Each structure stands twice: as structure tokens, then as C-alpha cells.
Amino acid sequence: MARQLFEACLDIDPARQTVQELKVLPAQKGVILFADPEDKPIQLLLTANIRRTAAARLFPPEATSATKRADITQITRRIHYTICYNDFRTSLQFYTIAGVLYPDTYAEMLALPKQTFVRIDPGAKWPFFTLTESLRAGDSEERIFGPFPTRKSAGRFVGALQGAFRLCQRPDLVDIPEKARSCPYLQMGTCPAPCVGNISRGEYLGQIEGAIAAAEGDIEPCRERIEARMKQLAGEMEFEQAEMAKKRIEQLEVLTTGAYRWTGDLRRLGLLHIDRSAKVAQEGKKRKVQCYAAFLIRYGQVTVFHDFTLDKMGGLCRSLQAKLAQEPGPSGRNRLGELMSLLSYFLYRSKQPGIWLDCASVTGPSRVPAASEIREAMGKHFDVKSKIKN
């Protein structure tokens, strides 16, 4: 099985092996597996340097009493490895291989932090936004929003929607008016109070629709309506109501901050990630040409495109367009949450590797970035100056 999961392998003879013989291993990023005489996995690692990691495990410095690392030198007979060249491919390969080799324990190896998402079921009698840590595939009417950098930011996202659209914060009391009268939000006048009939269910569902649109990123129309209402109230000397409208606008502004740069309806998720790959020799050129790796991350699916050079970017755009025209396929073994955790790890790093372009659209089908847009983003990140040909 290991041979099918990796690009290459190196046989090991503990009695004759030397550090010099490990120089045939690539000094590149990748995933490495140490296997026993029966080719069963001993240790799976992702590494910034395959050769250096192999040498460190098979020819460690003298052990000290503080060393906790297991000695695998005498049982290792084969090193399997795959070169990945960039961080995202390395993590994706490690995640995929670990799931095959260690189906029962791979989650512990990944150590991915739990992700928090925001859900709402528009078909419920009284829909409301809530936090959740679980994701489900299928045709459910519920809407799931993410990703978020932290659980706190997800909670702030819900709070901003509730404040901007004056949503009920105690939906469990809506149909119990005798208990709802003691609700602090009703007493403070910060909700539309459907529980006591101040607003009809139809009118309230209209506010929910506006909140869902804002959660998807369609914020400007909402802001314009509230601003117009605020000016009207101010002109009518209703300064207290105008101030409340101003606070609603401030809550909308929260949704435009950097923490929610990538947040939207996860079923419409479409992120294009590009990073450096191998350098290859081309006929008629003295120097090797830089290749780039491209990935499309959607809800439950990661598509790995063929590596491309700058003069073949038109081919990437055509492949991307064809893929975005299809519905994303399901992820194996209900790993939606894990894929989103892996994505969030890269999106919210202080120094993002490569470039990330949003292909999602709030109001229509996914959009395909033009070659010029990709070229501009790559030029800023990679200092690319070569011309692009379609």
C-alpha cells in the first residue's frame, strides 16, 4: 500500500547504511514514511527537508537521558517519500496519506484545532443564527457560514448580525409571550419583539433574509437602507432612533473587517491557491523554468490542478472554469470539518504561503479570475515579471 501512496522509495540496510548513501534523497519539502521489513509503517512525517529528516532519524546524535524520540534505526528497511515543494501540498498529502495508513488515529496525528461555524435554518418557524462545530453534506436547507479564525470571532459575527438586523436573541421564548415579557432584550428595546406581536412573522422573516444576505457578503444594500433611514429619523428629530440606526451600521461594519475576509456561505466556497512548485528544464532555455502549483478548495473538495508555467496560465484558467461549473463532490469519511480546519490554518496564518483568490460570488455563479488578475497577484507575491500567454 505504501508504494501506491508515495512517489518513490529508498531501501535501507541498517548494517551497511551510511549518511552518504542518503544523499540520493531530495532536499525538498514533502512527506516521508519509515517502514519495517514487511513494509508496514513505522513513522509518518511531513518535513521541510526529506534528506535531512531521514538522516536525523536514522543517524541521530548520541542519545541523552532527556531524549524521548523512539529509536527506529534497527527496524527501518525502507523510506517512502513524496516531494511537495510547497506548504499546502505537503499538508494536504500528509492529511490524505495519514487517513489511509492510520484510519483510526490519523486525527490525533494531524492535531488540527476544532473549527466553529455559524448555522441557520431558514425553514424553521423562527430561524436564528447559532454556533456549531459540526458540518454535514447533503441537501439540507440550513445555511453554514465560515471559515472563522477563532470561536470568538464566530460569536462576534453572530452578534453583529443580531445587532445590525435587530434579531431575536431568545427564539426559545417567542411562542411563550408570558415568559418573554421578562426577556432583557425586549425590555431594552433591542429586538423587534415578535414574541409580543410588535412585528409579524412574515416581517421578521424578511429581516432574517437581510441578515443572511449580509452574512454572505452582500452588505452594501443593507448599509444604504439603514443610512437612508437614519437620515430620515434625524430629519424628523427622532435622534434616539437615529442613534440606534447608527449603531446598526457600526455592527454591519464589523462584518467587513479582516477577520471575515474569507467568510461566506460554505456551500458556495471557492478559493484558488497558487504557490511555487518545481523548476523544470525546457528546450531552448539554459535556465530551469519555475512551475507553480494550483489548488481549488470548495466545500468538501480540494482539486489539485496540473503544475503550470507562466506561459501556460490560460490552460489553468480553462481548467478552473470547467471545475467551477461542476458541483463539488463529497469528501470521504465525513471529513468536511477537517478540510475546513486545514484551510483555516493557512488562511489565517500571520504569513500566508502563496496567493489566495476568492472565486465565490454572492449573487451568482462562481467567478473565474482572469489571467491578468492572477498575474497581478502572483507579481506582487512572487515578483513575477515574465509575460503570460494564453
118-171: per-residue pLDDT in tens?
A: 999 998 888 999 999 888 665 568 899 999 999 999 999 999 999 999 888 887
74: CATH: 3.40.1440.10
Report how far residue 90's alpha carbon sits from residue 96's, in angstroms, rounded to the nearest whole number: 10
**Domain end position, chosen among 208, 241, 260:** 260
Q: Are residues 237 and 121 in the same domain?
A: yes
Any bridge partners for residue 35, and if so which?
41, 78
* Higher pLDDT, residue 135 or 115: 115
| Nearest by Cα to 292 from 382, 367, 360 | 382
22, 48, 292 from 82: Cα distances, Å = 15, 12, 17
Q: In this structure, which amino acid lies at residue 307?
A: D
Interior CA angle at 108 toward 106 and 114, to 5°?
110
Ramachandran angles phi, psi of 187, nearest 5°: -65, -35
pLDDT, residue 27, reads: 95
Residue 355: domain span: 269-382
Q: In this structure, which amino acid lies at residue 353?
A: P
What integer is the mean pLDDT of 18-27? 88
Give the cell for residue 298. Answer: 470548495
**Domain end position, chosen among 241, 260, 279:** 260
Please, what's the b/e burial string for 124-159 (b: 16 or more CB within 10 A of its CB; e: otherwise)?
Answer: eebbbbeebeebeeeeeeebbbbbbbeeebbebbbe
192 pLDDT above the threshold of 50: yes
Q: Are residues 147 and 164 in the same domain?
A: yes
pLDDT, residue 390, reads: 47
| In a domain? residue 368 | yes
386 pLDDT above the threshold of 80: no
Report how far residue 52's alpha carbon sits from residue 108's, in angstroms, rounded to the nearest whole number: 25
- Average pLDDT in the chain: 87
| In a domain? residue 389 | no
Q: Are residues 217 and 137 in the same domain?
A: yes
pLDDT, residue 250, reads: 93
Q: Are residues 121 and 255 in the same domain?
A: yes
> How many CB atoms lie under 10 A from the CB of residue 241?
15
Q: Are residues 362 and 293 in the same domain?
A: yes
Q: Are residues 153 and 197 in the same domain?
A: yes
| In a domain? residue 62 | yes
How many C-alpha atoms does 87 have within 13 Å on its Cβ side? 12
| In a domain? residue 217 | yes
| In a domain? residue 176 | yes
pLDDT in tens, 270-298: 999 999 999 998 887 888 999 999 999 99
3-state secondary structure of 34: strand
Instruction: Provide the whole-model pTM.
Output: 0.87
| In a domain? residue 191 | yes
Domains in the chain, number: 3
Range in 42-46, 224-228, 291-295 the model is least confident about: 224-228
| In a domain? residue 388 | no
Which of the 8 DSSP states describes residue 139? S
Angle in degrees, 0-180, between the axes of helices 201-215 and 220-235, rounded to the nearest 10: 130
Range in 4-18, 64-78, 252-266 the model is least confident about: 64-78
CB 110 within 8 Å of CB 101: no
Rg of the Cα trace of the chain? 27
Report how far residue 236's alpha carbon sits from residue 13's, in angstroms, rounded to the nearest whole number: 88
pLDDT in tens, 299-341: 888 999 999 999 889 999 999 999 998 887 665 545 788 888 9
Question: Which residues have a Cβ under 8 Å from the Cβ of 379 and sit 6 or more positions away?
Answer: 385
